[in-house]
Chains A and B, each alone.
Chain A
Amino acid sequence: MKENIVIIGGGIAGLEAACQLLDLGYKPIIIEKSDHLGGHVADWNCLFPDMTPAGDIVSALISKAADANIFLNTEISFVNKLQDSYNIMLSNGISIITRIMLVTTGFSVFDASKKEEYGYGVYDQVITNKDLEHWFNTGDDRRVNDSAMNAIGFVHCVGSRDEKARNSQCSKVCCITAVKQAIEMKQKFPEAMVYCFYMDLRMFGKKYEDFYISAQRDYGIRFIRGRVSEVSENIDGRVIVKAEDTLSGKPVKVTLDLLVLMAGMVCSQDSTKVANMIKLPLDSDGFLKSADNVADIIDSPKEGIFYAGACTGPKTVPETLAEARAAALKIHLYIMKK
């Protein structure tokens, strides 16, 4: 089939949509900005709630999508609107004429150094959820000192639900990620005390509540209801965390060897750049705006342009994959109708 289908972003959303389109007999084109496929999931270690190895998901998708036209290290330089199609100029000099684009540009992890009071980038014992996944994968992070791990803390809602960080949204996946990572740390350091500082626990998905119960009963993770207000360093290089324990109504203070900030999901600048080029609107939460947030998340307000995955808001892996499949079918039906 001759029809060009351009997929912008080679994360799991772009890859899954490409696999489905290949099965339907098309030859989609994937444009990926970085030097590898898989997006964020390629950086994760194990996925909640069943601890599925992220690498397995990504490598299966990559091998299934191998027959697509894949451009790595490539971005869109500009887009010209033609009569009823678009002319896309790529950074590698290739130009493509298409009437169908699937935007799968995903999200960014909130830059935790913007929350100065948490000391990311200042204190050596403060890392993010993303750094911890990297450490699970590689064992390489000088900030994680295996030999002295007596107390570990997780701070929920970093850069989410926070008007001071200009993001009042809940990032949805970080509560369950904190539960997952807390369990993993307790498995690695059974003697350590592990604390989660939360305001509300959002266990919305299949088996998440079971995961939370297991964190409490089987692993003894301490959940403290209060937002961390301040982090400082003491003389022996540990960090002191302060909060109000709102359930007892008393201030709490605890000294930790490692503090993990649950940085949230925000719309990536690369997504907004693409949105600007094709004149796609942004929603009030900063993510790309769908035609309808209930009935039609996959359609953009522009004809021939579709979305899948975390470019329209925080999503889990199964949600992203489901949207990618739905988008492939939508594109197929769109082509059939013409």
Chain B
Amino acid sequence: MDFGFKLSPSSAINLDKVDTEKFAELHRAEPDVYKCMACGSCTSTCPANRFSGMSVRKVILGLQRGKEKEVIAMMKNCMLCGKCSMVCPRGINTRHLILSICRIYGEDMK
């Protein structure tokens, strides 16, 4: 039957359905990941941001909001240059964090 419109999946974040296990593993490996205050310094200095939208801030947030797929796609543009680590005011070793995400979320990356 054609109603003249279609139902699109809800874009709301349902925290009840977010998989927290992998993030807990990430947190064990990188305790500082919870220190992020979402200031955006990493994004603003990232040379990959302009052409690909790569943003460590969005990666950290996305993994906690069940957006693993989008995050992983974004991370493929990271050049591991480490500029984000140099500016983070919370002293998070973001470059190392990215490597740990690759290790822990490796399967989703394929």
Contacts and interface: CB of A to CB of B under 8 A. Distances in A.
B102 to A, nearest CB: 23
B27 interface: no
Interface in B3-44: 37-41, 43-44
Contacts of A228: 44
Nearest to A199: B39
A163 B91 contact: yes
A97 to B, nearest CB: 47
A246 interface: yes
B95 interface: no
B87 to A, nearest CB: 6
A244 to B, nearest CB: 3
B43 A251 contact: yes
B90 A163 contact: yes
A225 B38 CA distance: 9
B106 interface: no
Contacts of B89: 157, 161-165, 227
B70 to A, nearest CB: 12
Nearest to B84: A229
B45 A246 contact: no
Interface string A169-191: 00000000000000000000000
A235 to B, nearest CB: 22
Would you call the interface of chain A mostly helix, strand, loop, or mixed?
A: mixed
Interface residues of A, number: 23
A230 B44 contact: yes
Contacts of B45: 229-230
B44 A249 contact: no
A242 interface: yes
B57 A244 contact: yes
A226 to B, nearest CB: 4
A243 interface: yes
A141 interface: no
Interface string A216-241: 00000000011111100000000000
A146 interface: no
B55 to A, nearest CB: 7
Interface of A: 117, 157, 161-165, 168, 199-200, 225-230, 242-246, 249, 251
23 contacts: A117-B87, A161-B37, A162-B89, A163-B90, A164-B88, A164-B89, A164-B91, A165-B89, A168-B90, A226-B44, A227-B40, A227-B41, A227-B44, A228-B44, A242-B44, A243-B40, A244-B40, A244-B43, A246-B40, A246-B43, A246-B57, A251-B44, A251-B50
The 4 lowest CB-CB distance pairs between A and B, nearest first, are A244-B40, A163-B91, A229-B44, A227-B39
Given A226-B44, A251-B49, 8 more contacts: A161-B89, A163-B91, A199-B37, A199-B38, A199-B39, A229-B40, A229-B87, A244-B44
